[in-house]
Amino acid sequence: MSSIPPNHTATSIVTNQSTDLYENPYFLHSSDHAGLILVSDRLSSGSEFHSWRRSVRMALNVRNKLGFIDGTIPQPHSNHRDAGSWSRCNDMVATWLMNSVSKKIGQSLLFMSTAESIWKNLLSRFKHDDAPRVFEIEQRLGSLQQGSMDVSTYYTELVTLWEEYKNYVELPLCTCGRCECNAAALWEKM
């Protein structure tokens, strides 16, 4: 007896099996559960926010859930076919975020309705602690000269500063593909 369902070919089954399920942002793997802790060190103060933020973003990106905190996966209307899936994933990501912060911080986030609002709250609460470091990096970038450094050393120093700066400051990116999203104006302002 054939194990291929009617109206399917072996090729279509193989193609379907090789599809990366994580391409669908609403896909939840069996290991994606409410008790999951995204990062090993829970956020408890502003001094650790920068590295915590980077770790959380990486963990959510791996699971294709970054859009739930940055707003690129918007909530569909309540009668849309994806409304239930969005709600489940949003609650899962919100739970992961609360599991990744101290109990005291988590209590202040409990009644926020979306993972995006939780993320924005954490950003507004802790990101300002980075201001002195951002200022220092900007000063170093503005005054860095090759001087007696060889090209490789100078390049490494420059790239290191820019990479660190990018982690502290959200650099404007064109999200529309036609630069109608104001990214150029934001760059100019920066």
Residues 16-59 pLDDT 10s: 454 677 788 999 888 889 888 889 899 998 778 888 998 999 99
pLDDT confidence of residue 171: 66
- Kindly state the average pLDDT of the residues 60-84: 94
**Are 93 and 168 within one domain?**
no
Query: CB of 100 within 8 A of CB of 115?
Result: no
State the pTM of this model. Answer: 0.65
- Residues 41, 124, single domain; the answer is yes
pLDDT of 180 > 80? The answer is no
Same domain, 124 and 151: no
Instruction: Record the tokens describing residue 125, joined without a space.
Output: 């609460």
Residue 86 maps to a domain = yes
Question: Range with the lowest mean pLDDT among 76-80, 84-88, 132-136?
Answer: 132-136
The secondary structure of residue 128, as a DSSP letter, is G
Query: Is 148 found in the same domain as 95?
Result: no
Look at residue 23 and tell me if it is in a domain: no
Are residues 124 and 39 part of one domain?
yes
Q: What is the DSSP string of 58-75?
A: HHHHHTT-THHHHSSSPP
Residues 108 and 174 in one domain: no
81 and 118 inside one domain: yes
pLDDT-based confidence at 15, cuts 50/70/90? Answer: very low
Q: Which residue has the higher pLDDT, 171 or 33?
A: 33
Q: Is residue 5 part of a domain?
A: no
- Predicted pLDDT at 4: 43
**Residue 18: predicted pLDDT:** 47
The three-class DSSP label of residue 118 is helix
> What's the domain range around 181?
144-190
Structural domain count, the chain: 2
Structure tokens at 59: 């963990």
In a domain, 137, yes or no: no
Quote the crossing angle between the two packed helices 83-99 and 49-62, to the nearest 10°. Answer: 150
Is there a domain that residue 22 lies in? no
Residues 172 and 90 in one domain: no
- Report pLDDT digits (tens) over 116-170: 999 999 998 887 657 787 888 899 999 999 999 999 999 999 998 888 887 777 7
Is there a single domain that holds both residue 116 and residue 170?
A: no
Which of 102, 129, 156 is the last residue in one of the domains? 129
